[in-house]
Structure 1
Amino acid sequence: MSKFLVLYTSDASLEEQMQQSSDGGATEMQEWMAWGEKTGSALLDFGAPVHNARHVGSAGVQAPGAKVTGYSFVEAADADAAAALFADHPHLQIGDIEILETVNMSPG
């Protein structure tokens, strides 16, 4: 089994997403919780929303081009199996999902 870092991206910031919700995000939270229950033990870490990102590069510090609004960690047999876990994820209503396989750096 491989471990995957999942990044949730959106053109709308986390704050903008919360303002767009008519019930303060309660419906969205219920949808996320239902997805988490369906995903079961493959969901290693539900993660959390993130905001106030900065891009650090050779030109200095600036606001990032892509808006990462959250993260999770999942475990799956391969990248296709990991992607299948997100086929009907509620975040797809407002943004995209990036799935990155982590590399085990432990010796041996």
Structure 2
Amino acid sequence: MPRFLAVYTMQPEDLARFRALPKEQQDAIDAEGLPKWEQWQAGHAAAFADGGGMVGKTLRVTREGIAPATNSICGYVVVEAETIEAAARLFENHPHFMVFPGDAVDIMPFMT
């Protein structure tokens, strides 16, 4: 079955805004979002080829060397689906952007 890379994105300023909220508000968002995320994972577990995870700060390697970089990638998962559209449908109404301050999930096929 075809595999797809799903990349969770979040704008750095949205993450900063979330982290600037009072702890009680952050905890309330977590209390709503984490169970929904776990429910989403359980409901789609059969599609996971790699459960992925969240990612941290970025170092970029170029001809000029290695340096810190900023991007909107905050996590990933690898899913299996018949088509890219079917893979994308797995992420409709995902808590990443419905509850948490994420902005999107980008779906890309692995090329053979």
Residues 18, 24 of structure 1: 8 Å contact kept: no
Gaps of 5+ in 2: none
Partner of residue 5, structure 1: 5
**Amino acid paired to 2:96:** H
**Amino acid paired to 2:109:** E
TM-score (norm 2): 0.75
Partner of residue 109, structure 2: 101
More helix by share: 2
**Amino acid paired to 2:8:** Y
- Per mean C-alpha deviation after superposition, the further-off stretch among 64-73 and 77-86 is 64-73
Gaps of 5+ in 1: none
Describe the superposition over 1:57-104 as per-residue Cα deviations: whole angstroms up to 9, x where unpaired. Answer: 234333334221111110000111111111111112322111111123
**Amino acid paired to 1:54:** L
The correspondence for 2:68, drawn from 48, 56, 63, is 63
Residues 76, 82 of structure 1: 8 Å contact kept: yes
* Overall identity of the aligned pairs, in %: 27
CA distance in 2 between partners of 1:69 and 1:32 (Å): 15
Shift of 1:18: 7.0
**Amino acid paired to 1:86:** F
The correspondence for 1:54, drawn from 37, 51, 59, is 59
Residues 57, 70 of structure 2: 8 Å contact kept: no
Shift of 1:12: 3.1
